[in-house]
Amino acid sequence: MKHSQIFLHGTCVSVGGAGVLVLGEPGSGKSALALRLIDEPGYGISGVLLCSELVADDQVIVTCERDRLMASAPATLRGKLEIRGLGIVTLATPPSVPLALVVKLQDHSAIERLPGPATFGILGLTLPLVEMDGKMPSAPARLRAALSWLKQPDKAREPVAQQRG
């Protein structure tokens, strides 16, 4: 039986209108990465300035609507972002956002340099998955680059070694 809604421990940010679900262990930097994305608009590899908004922090509700995954915050947490050492702040947030990417945060030593395509399954649907170290200075740019890269045609996303064949 398929469930149409699930609660996940994570953070969700809308980056240029595309929802990014950030998952990781407690203390891995989910909220800090969200704050950096909100505070630092950037281009990734698209050449288009991408601004970010908080959707949900700590808990994310993911629902399946017409074969697409939507993310939102529980009512009690809507607009709330934890800034370690400062406390809970309130931000304007969109009510929901269509998910485009899942980012799994982990230490950089555990991440493959040239990984193959990966996916993350939620409610019977799959989303592209990338792993990154959210504490690295380049994490916001890498996340925006991943979104831009995923919008390219499949041929353009093949690893260089495969293209040279």
Q: Summarize pLDDT for 19-50 with one digit per residue, the tens.
A: 999 999 998 999 999 999 999 999 989 899 99
User: pLDDT grade, residue 164 (50/70/90)?
Assistant: very low
> Rounded distance, CA 34 to CA 4, Å?
26
Classify residue 91 as exposed, middle or buried by CB count within 10 Å of its CB (0-12, 13-18, 19+). Answer: middle
Q: Summarize pLDDT for 104-152 with one digit per residue, the tens.
A: 999 888 888 888 889 999 999 999 999 999 999 999 999 999 999 888 7
User: pLDDT grade, residue 165 (50/70/90)?
Assistant: very low
User: pLDDT grade, residue 94 (50/70/90)?
Assistant: very high
Q: Give the dihedral sign, CA 123/127/129/135.
A: negative
Model pLDDT, residue 150: 86
75: tokens are 């009512």
Ramachandran angles phi, psi of 36, nearest 5°: -65, -40
Beta-strand ranges (E) seen in 4-110 are 5-15, 18-23, 52-65, 68-72, 80-83, 87-90, 97-105
